[in-house]
A = this chain, B = another copy of it.
Amino acid sequence: MDELASKGVSGLLDPIAPGIAPGSDAANLSILGYDPYDACKGRGFFEAAGAGIELKPSDVAFRCNFATVNEDFIIVDERAGRIREGALELAEALQDIRLRENSDIEIIFKQTLDFKGVLVLRGDQISSNVAAEMPKAGYKAGSFRPLDASVEAERTSNALDEFFKISHELLKDHPVNKKRTSEGKPPANAVIPWGAGKLPRIELFYEKYKLKAACIAAVSLIKGIAKLSGISVIDVPGATGYIDTDTLAKADAALRAIKTHDLVFLHVEGPDEASHEGNIEGKISIIEKIDSMVGRIIDNVDLDEVSVVLLADHVTSIRHRKHTGDPVPITIASTEVIRDGVQRYNEREACRGGLGRIQGRHVMPLMLNLMCRPESLSG
């Protein structure tokens, strides 16, 4: 990464604006040039699209967590010990859920990565205007409520409550959880939906920029942003969305993809996950793996031909275990840029870089300019 900085121009990037802490949806949409205040009306729909569910425009979709709750529905672990093994079996137990009260609302649930999943509600008279908060240990699970006085919001809120409670009934005594409990692991005894979303209005990336783009990402949110903006999603074996991901496999996939695309968007989730967990060793290890990934890329591209842009989508503070509004370093490496003498990729050096302090919405215009096809403005 330091080599990349020494071959480029650096700066500090506010994904949205100074001080604003973005969700991953807002941050990545902003970096791809979409107005995050307009495009991110609920991440659930992006998540479900990224999970490969064929969605209807009337669907309401949610991100879900397998979680551990106690008998009072208080969340004990919002990631159920980051369950991986057995998660698919648990998801299978949820495939035939029919709601009792809201039996006309169809339920589609899919596990995606580890403790993560998506829920789609399909039917008439449903709404995304419901409170369904990201689960957090210590808080009560399933505190869904309508955000307006409509029948649709009321029904949807009730449907979520039903889904959550049925998931608990079906999972609490599941053999996978009995085994987890016997091993001293937190059982994944409930599924908690959050991040209600409906079909976002998002201009196709190709229409917007006339660039053929590909996306390499493990997590459904990023894949979904790509799918809904018409960016090709490339699945990479070994990409896990966690600190154990195969960053070199991702680098190799990107190197192949750039031969047939104008732009490749490569996303690594691991540092965010490690930071949310307060796992400093894990964070260091995944950053080292990203360092190797960047090395693999710059060793195999000609910076005369290909620009390499390195940035973080947002800060996740390992101290606070959540996203903050701090800026991230960005480096744009290319033989086309005026190198600024910055030799290292970090916040302290980046603030002396030639890019100054820019915002997420500036990234795509800078890319287009590097490609000799800048947006132009003239009367």
Q: Chain A residues in contact with chain B, CB under 8 A?
A: 11-12, 16-26, 36-37, 40-44, 46, 195, 197, 200, 320, 323-326, 338, 340-341, 347-348, 351-358, 362, 364-369, 372, 374-379
* Copies of this chain held together in the complex: 2
Give Cα A324 to B367, complex, Å: 12
**CB of A16, distance to nearest CB on chain B (Å):** 6
Give Cα A351 to B11, complex, Å: 10
Contacts A17-B362, A19-B365, A40-B379 supplied; 7 other A-B pairs, CB < 8 Å: A20-B376, A21-B374, A43-B379, A200-B379, A325-B365, A338-B347, A341-B348
**CB of A275, distance to nearest CB on chain B (Å):** 14
Q: List 18 A-B pairs, Cβ < 8 Å.
A: A11-B356, A11-B357, A12-B356, A17-B362, A18-B355, A18-B365, A20-B374, A21-B375, A21-B377, A23-B377, A23-B378, A24-B378, A36-B377, A323-B376, A326-B338, A340-B351, A348-B354, A351-B356
CB pair B354–A351 under 8 Å, yes or no, is yes
CB pair B366–A18 under 8 Å, yes or no, is yes
Give Cα A366 to B324, complex, Å: 10
**CB of A180, distance to nearest CB on chain B (Å):** 30
In the complex, chain B residues whose CB is within 8 Å of the CB of A374: 19-21, 323-325
CB pair A353–B354 under 8 Å, yes or no, is no
CB pair A320–B372 under 8 Å, yes or no, is yes
In the complex, chain B residues whose CB is within 8 Å of the CB of A12: 354, 356
Among B341, B365, B379, point to the contact of A20 (Cβ < 8 A). Answer: B365
**CB of A188, distance to nearest CB on chain B (Å):** 24
In the complex, chain B residues whose CB is within 8 Å of the CB of A364: 19
CB pair A325–B358 under 8 Å, yes or no, is no
CB pair B26–A378 under 8 Å, yes or no, is yes
